[in-house]
């Protein structure tokens, strides 16, 4: 008789094999039969645990998001030397999840929207915690800033091939992450411009435009 622990082990093995298969082949092309082969189980056992491929994808989405967002992993939480060092030296662990996100975020499906929304929610929670801890500058539009921070984080994953082509090395390798980490933190910490002139000009232009719009409608 199969034990509960055997079932849990098989479920995790199926999930991990599905993450690799979906990342490599795409959701539509990856079959339950091929995932079963990679996991060393029967297709019937996948159905037993997950019911169908859509439910299996939901499980993979939730797990991959948790790897990058959850407190226990801390990958995008408040940056510390230990966490940054761990991410840079554990690309073997995170590589399949990075490939999964890159493939699944751009497949144009409702599931991709749910995956993005989960990551956005996680980023929002992290920033809310950092705001409460006094780590953030005041924001004119916190929700838009949350979206921009999310896009900054996902950009290197989705555009990995283009980054590699332009820079001549894989930016998600250990060496590439070392190169990527400091400029990213500089950008988030200090911004780009050494003057506030452009910011003040933008604020004034938007205020003038809003005033003109209100004048037209009054």
Question: Residue 188 — left, alpha, or beta (φ > 0 → left; ψ -120 to 50 → alpha)?
Answer: alpha
pLDDT along the chain (218 residues), means of 10: 53 94 93 94 94 94 77 43 57 80 86 87 89 92 94 87 88 79 89 93 91 78
d(CA 22, CA 38): 12
pLDDT for residue 1: 34
Per-state percent for the chain, helix, strand, coil, to nearest 5: 75, 0, 25
CATH code given to domain 4-158: 1.10.357.10
* Unique residue bearing structure tokens 């761990």: 86
pLDDT for residue 46: 95
- Identify which of 133, 108, 111, 10 has the alpha carbon closest to the alpha carbon of residue 57: 111
């Amino acid at each position: 008789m199969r034990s509960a622990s055997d079932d849990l082990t098989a479920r995790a093995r199926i999930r991990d094999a599905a993450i690799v298969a979906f990342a490599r082949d795409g959701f539509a092309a990856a079959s339950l039969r091929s995932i079963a082969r990679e996991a060393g189980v029967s297709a019937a056992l996948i159905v037993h645990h997950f019911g169908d491929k859509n439910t299996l994808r939901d499980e993979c989405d939730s797990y991959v998001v948790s790897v990058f967002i959850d407190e226990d992993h801390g990958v995008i939480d408040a940056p510390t030397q230990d966490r940054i060092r761990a991410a840079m030296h554990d690309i073997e662990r995170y590589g399949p999840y990075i490939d999964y996100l890159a493939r699944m975020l751009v497949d144009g499906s409702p599931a991709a929207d749910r995956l993005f929304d989960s990551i956005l929610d996680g980023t929002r929670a992290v920033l809310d915690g950092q705001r409460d801890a006094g780590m953030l500058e005041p924001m004119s539009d916190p929700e838009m800033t949350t979206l921009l921070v999310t896009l900054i984080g996902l950009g290197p994953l989705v555009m990995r091939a283009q980054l590699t082509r332009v820079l001549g090395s894989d930016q998600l390798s250990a060496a590439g992450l070392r190169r990527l980490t400091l400029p990213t933190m500089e950008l988030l910490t200090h911004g780009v411009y050494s003057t506030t002139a452009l910011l003040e000009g933008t604020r004034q232009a938007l205020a003038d435009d809003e005033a003109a719009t209100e004048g037209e409608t009054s």
